[in-house]
């Protein structure tokens, strides 16, 4: 499917999403920068993508918990980028708390953004990909969805659900030239990990065989490979990027 290089990355204004979008831009993809609230950050990422040589760059804000967001985002990619060959479902939220303190709203918010929105976006994108008989969908899961993490029952459930969703959809559309894979980052250097108390960071580091946190760019390189034509026989997989922490 030579020439089809358009990517939509959700939650692309910072952290892992930003790194993924910039890596794809550097590899010549037309890119759509999705953001939830901070347009200024998203516009800055768009400027970086242009500087890296992306042939087309668009910015689109949407609340992914709104059912209307998925069709609007995919339509924006089709219109602004000239098509959609790669969907990276990266956007996610956390509402951490121990189970007995976790409110229904904390559960609902995480499931809505981290799982339900992925279902809607994937369904919408696959409609177009099936017609073209080509597509790459990469879902950003988490080692929390494999190992479980205290205080993250909602997040771990959403990410575990994402892994099961990935496997099922991969099997449904493999014969249409579409692959669906998940990437499960471990502890990556982002705003979220930087905010952890030093003692907690030391405790996490002690568990990681590599002895360090990962970099967003290390996740982005894998996502970019899975997005390419050379990864056509990798399907339904969950690949951990975690320094050896998890038996994926």
End-to-end CA distance of the chain: 30
Tabulate helix, strand, coil % of the chain (nearest 5).
50, 15, 35
Element (H, E) at 69: helix 69-81
**Whole-number Å distance between alpha carbons of 248 and 234:** 15
How crowded is the C-beta side of 222, counted as CA atoms within 13 Å?
A: 21
Choose the catalytic residue: 29, 35, 134, 155.
Answer: 155
Q: Are 60 and 34 in contact (CB under 8 A)?
A: yes
Q: Are 156 and 94 in contact (CB under 8 A)?
A: no
- 134 is an active site residue: no
Catalytic positions: 155
């Amino acid at each position: 499917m030579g020439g089809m290089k358009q990517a939509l990355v959700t939650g692309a204004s910072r952290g892992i999403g930003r790194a993924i979008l910039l890596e794809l831009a550097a590899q010549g993809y037309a890119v759509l920068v999705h953001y939830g609230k901070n347009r200024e950050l998203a516009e800055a990422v768009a400027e970086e993508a242009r500087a890296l040589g992306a042939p087309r760059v668009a910015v689109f804000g949407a609340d992914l918990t709104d059912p209307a967001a998925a069709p609007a985002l995919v339509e924006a990619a089709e219109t602004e980028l000239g098509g959609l060959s790669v969907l990276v479902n990266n956007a996610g939220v956390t509402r951490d708390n121990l189970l007995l303190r976790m409110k229904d709203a904390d559960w609902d918010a995480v499931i809505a953004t981290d799982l339900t929105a992925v279902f809607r976006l994937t369904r919408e994108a696959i409609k177009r990909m099936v017609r073209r008989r080509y597509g790459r969908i990469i879902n950003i899961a988490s080692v929390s969805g494999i190992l479980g993490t205290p205080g993250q029952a909602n997040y771990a459930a959403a990410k575990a659900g994402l892994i099961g969703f990935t496997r099922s959809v991969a099997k449904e559309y493999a014969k249409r030239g579409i692959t669906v894979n998940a990437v499960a980052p471990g502890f990556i250097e982002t705003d979220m990990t930087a905010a952890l108390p030093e003692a907690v960071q030391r405790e996490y580091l002690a568990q990681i065989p590599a002895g360090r946190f990962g970099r967003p760019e290390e996740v982005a390189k894998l996502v970019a490979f899975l997005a390419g034509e050379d990864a056509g026989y990798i399907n339904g997989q969950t690949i951990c990027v975690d320094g050896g922490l998890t038996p994926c």
